[in-house]
Amino acid sequence: MNEENQISYYSIIPATIRYDNRLKPAEKLIYSEITSLTNRMGYCFASNKYFANLYGVTIHTVSQWISHLEKLKYVYIELIRDTSKEIKERRIYINDTPYVQKNTYPYIFKSTYPIYKNVQDNNINSNIDDLFNFIINNSNQIPKKFYDILERLEFIYTEEILNIMQKDKVQMLKEIIYILYEIYNSNFNNLLSQVKREPLINLYVLAQEHSPSDLLNYYKRAIINKYTNNST
């Protein structure tokens, strides 16, 4: 079944949307649908055709609705292109703060999870935020091989996108990257050639649902167990 049809998350229409008289009722509805589809991956990749079939309208009508949401800065649209510059995917992000932020990475959540003590190839301070800031600023203190892994998994985001991503999605991204870096610096680093984006996100969500006392260690063990079993 196409993932666009696997809607299993709640949708949200915040007050800023509900009471915005500039929006048509259908635009408010499609915004809520986008929030539902965003909950899984941090962005919505559903096509205009999907929404048109869902609501029984034309593709052009859907395009107008989404364009209006973008114009009002309620959503941000990123177009992913292949090597020939052809558009291969559209990603719609919910903008938590519908105004332009002119700054560097805005979400600094202080954490105290220590990075492996045997990491000797960089001077990263022992917390998640420092690691993430090194990565988004393309620091040469992070090994290129690790950057390549993140690129393959599509975990490298521009500041423009990070500025409008939902805070819980940013925190999830930071923690996933942190655990991947721990694995990269462990005896299990060979497993990173097998990992894929969606299973990593699904394992993180499942780990959260179990509410372990140490979420990150639980998540790390889940990744190692999954891909160790896959390789045997």
Residues in Cβ contact with 22 at an 8 Å cutoff, skipping those fewer than 6 apart: 68, 72
Dihedral angle of Cα 97, 101, 103, 105, to the nearest 10 degrees: 30
Q: Where in the chain is the domain with CATH 1.10.10.10?
A: 3-94
Mean pLDDT over the full length of the chain: 79
Residue at 192: amino acid letter: L
Q: Provide the 8-state DSSP code for 44.
A: B
Position 96 scores a pLDDT of 59
**Among 3.40.50.300, 3.40.640.10, 3.20.20.70, 1.10.10.10, what is the CATH number of 3-94?**
1.10.10.10
pLDDT top residue among 74 and 210: 74
- Rounded Cα distance between 160 and 150, Å, is 18
Among the listed ranges 88-97, 106-115, 140-149, 169-178, which one has the minimum average pLDDT value?
106-115
Whole-structure pTM value: 0.57
Position 207 scores a pLDDT of 87
pLDDT at 75 over 50: yes
Ramachandran bin of 79, using left for φ above 0, alpha for ψ from -120 to 50, beta for the remaining angles: beta
Position 187 scores a pLDDT of 86
pLDDT tens digits for range 105-157: 333 333 333 433 344 333 333 478 888 988 988 888 889 999 999 999 999 98
Position 40 scores a pLDDT of 65
Position 24 scores a pLDDT of 94
